[in-house]
Amino acid sequence: MKIQIATVDAFASKAFSGNPAAVCLLENPLSKSEMQSIAMEMNLSETAFVKRTETPGVFGLRWFTPTLEIDLCGHATLASAFWMFESGWAQPDHSIRFETLSGELIVKKTGDQLEMDFPLIPTFEEIHPFFKESFMGKRIFRSAQLRKNWIFELASADEVENLKPDFDLIAKNSEEGIIVTATGKDSFDIYSRFFGPNVGVPEDPVTGFAHCALMDYWSRHTGKFQLKAYQASKRGGELHLEKHDDRVILKGNAVKVLSGSLEF
């Protein structure tokens, strides 16, 4: 079998920044175990699999980490749409509609950016059973829960940026992941980082799904419905967020760094 594949840096305006994702464009169906094996082989935080449906402009989309399938991934969706526009699977003047485990997701091209319409993820203020007052030696000012993940608000963007994670400790005291965040600096409204050792991603470079929750969290605490966000990983990444009722618009750039075929 031969499959078109590309590696795309998402939420990035230059190569080797943002969050890399592998994108497979499928002419023929694959089993779940085959997709998981490819994701393990690619060994990126996410590998996306796109297939056509009987409806023009509508595509199936699934995401796999090296260890499991997940139900929502922003950067691999951005990467998928970018590669589809580049390769001719989709037309730049039409929106792409993805059928996913999180419902329908819509991506369109606006100038040199891609704009994704995602569900807002509700957050609920809770105290973590283990990280009650501090996280990696940093005081937690507020904490919130979402699905199987947590948000910890720290004192400053510098604390977020300089935090040194203990991945074994995080893995023992989390289900999926932990988001640390703070009020931003320079031109950014918010800073964040995401740690998910239990889903095969010790630290994710840029996390679209996390920002669907951070938009809910920060809009409740600041009253803002538009945010410029920076994920302060080693690679770094920029996102523009807009809240519209129970939806979040995420805007970003992407860059292709590798394309070819996968044979097995």
The SS3 assignment for 152 reads: strand
The SS3 assignment for 116 reads: strand
Backbone dihedral angles phi then psi of residue 252, each to the nearest 5 degrees: -170, 170
Enumerate residues 6+ apart whose C-beta is below 8 A from 141. Answer: 153, 154, 155
Strand partners, 99: 60, 104
CA separation for the pair 156, 1 (Å, rounded)? 50
Residue 161 structure tokens: 């940026």
Which of 27, 46, 54, 125 is labelled catalytic?
Answer: 46
263 is catalytic: no
Which DSSP string do the residues of 213-225 spell out, in sequence order?
A: HHHHHHHHHH--S
Enumerate residues 6+ apart whose C-beta is below 8 A from 95. Answer: 57, 106, 107, 108
Residue 189 burial by Cβ neighbours in a 10 Å radius (0-12, 13-18, 19+):
middle
Judging by DSSP bridges, how do beta strands 149-153 and 142-146 pair with one another? antiparallel
Among all residues, which ones are annotated catalytic? 46
